[in-house]
Structure formats: structure tokens, C-alpha cells
Amino acid sequence: MRLRGVSAAICAVLASGAIAACGSSGASSSSNGVAAKSPEAILAATYASIKGVKSLRIYGSLSSEGLPVTLDLNLVAGEGASGSMSEHGLSFKLIAVGKTIYIQGSKAFWTQYGGAAAATLFKGRWLKASLSTGSFASLYALTNANELFAKLLGSHGPLVKVAETTIGGQKVVGVHDTTKGGTLYVAVNGPAYPVELVANGVGKGHVSFGDFNQTTSVTAPSSSIDVSQLKG
């Protein structure tokens, strides 16, 4: 089965710093002091705030090697993630529980990455695989909040601070990566959550973050096909 393309594309997008964020939950009128900090200190404050989040939603669109990628995922700390993604119009649902992922692809998705036989075999069914190794390993950071933000905030070039502005009615301060071309906007009131990262580099586009600390959970499908038991 040829599933490496999807995971590799998403991994490349993550590495390019193309993730955007838009979070409003937990906002308040109290200044958190990040506007007066250095760019590096702003990122540190953002990471510290995110590490305490119990859940959040990631949704939006970006590009990888010129191909459009969309996603809409709910991440739950200590559990995993659930939602849907697509690459170049090839859509699939996913549920990640710990380091196990379940994929339910559309007919077009399975035809592209597994052929006509896979499209027939997996129609309406979940495919179970490991996030530890193999084709889906690169998706682990996208289904684990701590891993995701460690990648997003820990890999960057020289930074400069961007003047305060307002995004979606929320006051923010920006941090611009002069090498990768992305600008991360962080809330200046309430928790120092990321609000938006506008990507102008390799992975153009944006992904939004919201619904912080909403009550939600992740449950594995009742039945699935284990990819380790398949041949070919």
C-alpha cells in the first residue's frame, strides 16, 4: 500500500512552520505581559500556556509542494486526536489513541494510495496502524499537542517582533521568522495562546487553533483492520 505520500507531505508542512493558529477560549481583558517580551520569550510563554491545555481544535488549510492540504482535528491531552484531513482533495477520517491511529479513507483516497482493491476492501471500514514506525509515524506530532507545539515553536530561524494588532477581535503581538517567512500572532490578554501564524514560505496557508479546554474525549472504533496483518 502506498500511504507514505500523505504522511510525508504533512510532515514536510510541519517542518516548514506553516501551522497557523486562532484561539479565543480562555481569553480575558487582563494583560499577560507578552507584548513587552523579546520574540524568544514570547514563544516560551506561548509554549508554557499550551502545555497546560486539556484539549483544542486544529482546522484550516495549507500547501505542501504545491498541493492543498486541509485538516480539522480535535486534540485531547493524554488521549489522542480525532477528525478529518485531505490532501489534494483525497479525504480521510482519523482517530489517534496514544500511538495507534485509525484511518477511514474515501474511495478516491484508497484508490490513489492503495489501488482499486484497497478501495473495495476498506470501503466504510477503519484501518488500524502504529504511529511509532512506518508510513504514519510522521503524523504523531499532529495528533499530540505537546509534540506538535514542540515542533512548531522549537524550530525557527532568527526572530523579530511585529507590532501589536487585532485579529478576530483579539489583541495580539506578532513574532516573525525571518528565515521561514512565517508570523506567529500571540494573544496579549489572558493565556498567551497562539492566535494566528501566517505562513509565506514553503507551506503557504493557515491552520486555526480554537476550542481550548472544551470537554471532549477520543474513542477508538469498535472494529478495524490491522495493517500489520495485511500483505503487500
Q: Which stretches of the chain score pLDDT less than 70?
A: 1-29, 64-65, 201-203, 231-232
Q: Which CATH architecture has domain 4-221?
A: Clam (2.50)
At 114-135, the pLDDT tens digits run: 888 888 988 999 989 898 877 7
DSSP the chain: ---HHHHHHHHHHHHTT-------TT--SSB-SGGGS-HHHHHHHHHHHHHT-SEEEEEEEEEETTEEEEEEEEEETTTEEEEEEEETTEEEEEEEETTEEEEEE-HHHHHHHH-HHHHHHTTT-PEEEESSSSTTGGGHHHH-HHHHHHHHHHS---EEEEEEEEETTEEEEEEEETTT-EEEEEESBSS--EEEEEE-SSS-EEEEEE-TT--------S--EEGGG---
Amino acid 2: pLDDT: 36
Amino acid 97: pLDDT: 95
Amino acid 142: pLDDT: 83
Q: Considering the entire predicted model, what is its pTM?
A: 0.79
Amino acid 56: pLDDT: 92
